[in-house]
Amino acid sequence: MTLADLEAKQIKLLHRIAQLELRLAASSISSSKGCGEDAAESMETRLSKILLARGVNDFAWKRVPSDYYDQSLEDRRQILNASRVEQLCKSIVMVNTQASEDITDCSNPKNSKYYVVVVQYMARLNAESIKNFLYALNDKKVPKKRFNMRLAPEDESLELTGFIHNAVTCIGMQTDIPVIIDEAITKLEEDYFWLGGGEVDLKLGMKTSQFLSAFKPFVVKCS
């Protein structure tokens, strides 16, 4: 067995231990509330409950240094123990600035005012590809000029997701915003990716195939 194989087994073992700890923490908090105590949930516990309820059991949390975003992608990869930088992703809220006046929320996933797009840090997002996808998704019945995806202002992103800049994640948002994931992420042979964990210094890694099955995002080639 090679050193790489041993490291991979160690990482998987640590993931399993983390899941057991999270389950115990969630159970403890639930019991405390049942006794009438006002126990506050941590971000990890709240989002872990959502993941486990959806059937995602291969995930991990990582607290990162305060200067994490000042470091190179390679340095961030090492902090997260990711196999390569392509696994480092972010969730960004996009708004359709040309949506019809009657489209003001996210009630229609096919033609929503907002979308959360999960894309690799190293990739260049192609908004035109998302526009073309949404146009086709609506059977070309909505004029193409009615789709113009742009980065949502930070205050709108915060109001919709409940997460501040550099902490945004597509898990556990305040609003049920449709999610788009870049096809490139789904094709990574590691079947694992990292993204924000709801707090600036908290990152969440999970098995891609489980995420796709649990949350059923739109898979779009958008980079």
pLDDT band at 169 (very low <50, low <70, confident <90, very high): very high
| Residue 59 predicted with pLDDT over 60 | yes
Q: For residues 212 and 215, what is the distance between their CA atoms, to the nearest angstrom?
A: 6
pLDDT of residue 41: 86
SS3 label, residue 172? coil
- pTM for the model: 0.82
Handedness of CA 98, 104, 105, 110 (dihedral sign): negative
Of 14-28, 82-96, 116-130, 185-199, minimum mean pLDDT range? 14-28
pLDDT band at 11 (very low <50, low <70, confident <90, very high): low
Of 29-43, 83-97, 150-164, minimum mean pLDDT range? 29-43
pLDDT of residue 14: 52
> Do residues 217 and 186 lie in contact, with contact meaning Cβ atoms separated by under 8 Å?
no
pLDDT of residue 62: 97
Instruction: For residues 147-155, give the mean pLDDT.
Output: 97
Which tokens in the block code for residue 67?
């200067």
Helix or strand run (H / E) with residue 60: strand 59-63
78-101: pLDDT as tens digits: 999 999 999 999 999 999 999 999
| Residue 29 predicted with pLDDT over 60 | no
Percent of the chain with pLDDT over 70: 83
CA-to-CA dists, residue 19 to 16, 39, 141, 200, 205, angstroms: 5, 20, 45, 21, 12
Instruction: For residues 126-150, give the mean pLDDT.
Output: 97
> Do residues 207 and 174 lie in contact, with contact meaning Cβ atoms separated by under 8 Å?
no
120-135: pLDDT as tens digits: 999 999 999 999 999 9
> Ramachandran region of residue 36, left (φ > 0), alpha (ψ -120 to 50) or beta?
left
